[in-house]
Amino acid sequence: MDLKRTIVDLMPAPLVRIFASPYIAGKGVSAGVSKADELHSKLGLSSTIDLLGEEVFRREDVEATVQVYFRMIEALKGRSFASISLKPTQLGINESVAYCQDNLRRIAAAADAQGLRITLDMEDRNFTDRTLQMFKAVRDEFDNFGTVLQSRLFRTGDDIKALHTKPCRVRICIGIYKEPAEAALQDKPAMKQKLFDYVQTLLDHGHYPEIATHDEPLIHRCIEFLDKRGVAKDAYEFQMLLGVPRTQIQKDIIARGQIVRLYVPFAEEWKYAVHYLKRRLAANPAMAIMVVKNMFG
Ligand SMILES: Cc1cc2nc3c(=O)[nH]c(=O)nc-3n(C[C@H](O)[C@H](O)[C@H](O)COP(=O)(O)OP(=O)(O)OC[C@H]3O[C@@H](n4cnc5c(N)ncnc54)[C@H](O)[C@@H]3O)c2cc1C
C-alpha cells in the first residue's frame, strides 16, 4: 500500500482540517459563493464551484443533492465569473443513466435560465462511457453544458473525435484516478504530453479547451503554442485547484486578458470535506509543511 496514503488516512480529522483547509471554501453553499466573490474581487479569478460528497445510492439522497445545486444556482445569480461542477455518482448514475441524465437536465436547465455554465466532472473509467453518453444528450439541448476528458486514458483521442458536432467546453486534465496499464498511460510525463496534444485536437474539432494543470512548464508550452497558432484568447482557458499555490502564473495569465478558473469545493458536512482533503494531502504532503510555515509567519 502507498505509504503517503496510509499516513494521511491515519491522521485525525481535525488535524486534516488544519493542514489542508486552503483547499476548500468551507461549509455550505454560502461559503462556496463567498469564496468565488473573494477570488474574483481580489484576484480577478473565475471559479467553478463543486459540492463535495460521497457516491449516492438512495433516491432521497440524490434529490437532496439536486436541491443543493438548485440553491447554488440561485445564489450565483448574476455572477458570470462563476460556474458549477458536478459528478454523476452524486446524481443518480448508480441507479440508471436515464435517471441521472434527467437530473443533469434539470440542473442544466436551471443554470441556463441564470446564464450559468455547468461542467460534468469525469470519474474513474467505469463511468466514462455513461458520462459521455449523458453529456452528449444534455449538450444537445443546452449550450451551457461542458465535460471533462482525461489525457491518461488511451481512449481520449477517439472520445474527442466522437464528442459532438456542436462546439463543447472540455476540461482536459491528466485525470486523478489510477487506471490499469491496459487502459491508461502509467507515466506522468507521457500524460502531460498527451494533455498538450489534446489541446490541439480539441481546437481542431472546434471545441473550447479548459486546460486544467498546475504544471508551469506545460502551461507555458501551451501558451506558446496557442499564440503561435493565433488562437483567440477567449477560445480557451486555464483551470487550477483552490489552494495550490500558483499566484504568479495566475496573475500573468489574467494580465494577458485570459480566464483562470479555480475549482472551489465546499461541503454540506465536514466529513465529506475531510475525505477530499485527505486525497489532496496524499497527493502532495508538502502542503502540510507549507501550511505550518504560513501559520507561523
Ligand atoms: C480545475 C480542475 C478540475 C479537475 N477535474 C477533474 C476531473 O473531473 N476528473 C479527474 O479525473 N481529474 C480532475 N482534475 C485533477 C487532474 O486530473 C490532476 O489530477 C491534477 O490537476 C494534478 O495534475 P497536474 O497536471 O497539475 O500535474 P501534477 O504533476 O500532478 O502537478 C504539478 C505540480 O502542481 C502541484 N500540485 C498539483 N496538485 C497539487 C495539490 N493537490 N496540492 C498542492 N500542489 C499540487 C505540485 O507542485 C506538482 O508538482 C482536475 C484538476 C483541476 C485543476
Residue 240 alpha carbon, nearest atom of ligand 1: 53
What residues contact 88, with CB distance under 8 A and at least 6 apart? 100, 104, 120, 121, 123, 127, 130, 131, 134
pLDDT of residue 284: 65
- Name the residue of 91, 124, 281, 284 whose CB sits within 8 Å of the most ligand 1 atoms, as the mutation to test its pocket: 284
**204: buried, middle or exposed (CB in 10 Å: 19+, 13-18, 0-12)?**
exposed
How far, in Å, is the centroid of ligand 1 from the Cα of 60?
Answer: 32
Residues 216/245, Cβ–Cβ less than 8 Å: no
Helix (H, G, I), strand (E, B) or coil at 48: strand
**Does 288 contact ligand 1 (Cβ within 6 A)?**
no
pLDDT of residue 52: 87
Q: What is the CA radius of gyration of the chain?
A: 18
How far, in Å, is the centroid of ligand 1 from the Cα of 269?
Answer: 24
How far, in Å, is the centroid of ligand 1 from the Cα of 214?
Answer: 6
How far apart are the C-alpha atoms of 136 and 125, rounded to whole Å? Answer: 17
Q: Could you list the residue range(s) of the whole structural domain that residue 50 is in?
A: 28-268
Q: In this structure, is residue 23 part of a structural domain?
A: no
Over residues 260-277, the mean pLDDT reads 83
CATH number of the domain where residue 145 is located: 3.20.20.220
**Does 213 contact ligand 1 (Cβ within 6 A)?**
yes
Residue 114 or residue 22, greater confidence: 114
Residues 84/118, Cβ–Cβ less than 8 Å: yes
Q: In this structure, is residue 290 part of a structural domain?
A: no
How far apart are the C-alpha atoms of 141 and 145, rounded to whole Å? Answer: 9
Strands, E assignment, 130-269: 145-150, 169-173, 208-212, 237-241, 260-267
Q: In this structure, is residue 281 part of a structural domain?
A: no
Residue-wise pLDDT for 139-186, tens only, equals 999 999 999 999 999 999 999 999 988 999 999 999 999 999 999 999
Over residues 226-252, the mean pLDDT reads 96
Instruction: For residue 22, give the DSSP letter.
Output: G
**Does 138 contact ligand 1 (Cβ within 6 A)?**
no
**Does 199 contact ligand 1 (Cβ within 6 A)?**
no
Q: In this structure, is residue 47 part of a structural domain?
A: yes
Long-range contacts of 159-163 (CB under 8 A, 24+ apart): 159/128, 159/132, 160/198, 160/201, 160/202, 160/205, 160/207, 161/201, 161/205, 163/132, 163/136, 163/205, 163/207
pTM above 0.75, yes or no: yes
What residues contact 139, with CB distance under 8 A and at least 6 apart? 145, 147, 164, 166, 168
* Other CB atoms within 10 A of residue 248 CB: 9
Residue 148 alpha carbon, nearest atom of ligand 1: 8
Mean pLDDT over all residues of the chain? 91
C-alpha cell of residue 217: 512548464
pLDDT of residue 294: 47
- Name the residue of 51, 244, 293 whose CB sits within 8 Å of the most ligand 1 atoms, as the mutation to test its pocket: 244
pLDDT band at 56 (very low <50, low <70, confident <90, very high): confident
Q: In this structure, is residue 110 part of a structural domain?
A: yes
Over residues 67-90, the mean pLDDT reads 96
**Does 64 contact ligand 1 (Cβ within 6 A)?**
no
Strands, E assignment, 123-244: 145-150, 169-173, 208-212, 237-241
Q: In this structure, is residue 2 part of a structural domain?
A: no
Q: For the ranges 110-114, 176-180, 269-273, which has the lowest average pLDDT?
A: 269-273
pLDDT of residue 292: 53
Residue 85 alpha carbon, nearest atom of ligand 1: 8
pLDDT above 90 for 101 = yes
Residue 278 or residue 141, greater confidence: 141
How far, in Å, is the centroid of ligand 1 from the Cα of 162?
Answer: 25
Which one, of 236, 267, 273, lies nearest residue 49 by Cα? Answer: 267
C-alpha cell of residue 59: 433516491
Helix (H, G, I), strand (E, B) or coil at 52: strand
**Does 128 contact ligand 1 (Cβ within 6 A)?**
no
Q: In this structure, is residue 282 part of a structural domain?
A: no
Element holding 85 (H helix, E strand): strand 82-86
Q: In this structure, is residue 13 part of a structural domain?
A: no
How far, in Å, is the centroid of ligand 1 from the Cα of 240?
Answer: 7
pLDDT band at 68 (very low <50, low <70, confident <90, very high): very high
Element holding 82 (H helix, E strand): strand 82-86
**Does 89 contact ligand 1 (Cβ within 6 A)?**
no
Helix (H, G, I), strand (E, B) or coil at 113: helix
Over residues 255-261, the mean pLDDT reads 97
How far, in Å, is the centroid of ligand 1 from the Cα of 68?
Answer: 26
pLDDT above 80 for 63 = yes
* Other CB atoms within 10 A of residue 57 CB: 11
What is the domain count for the chain?
A: 1
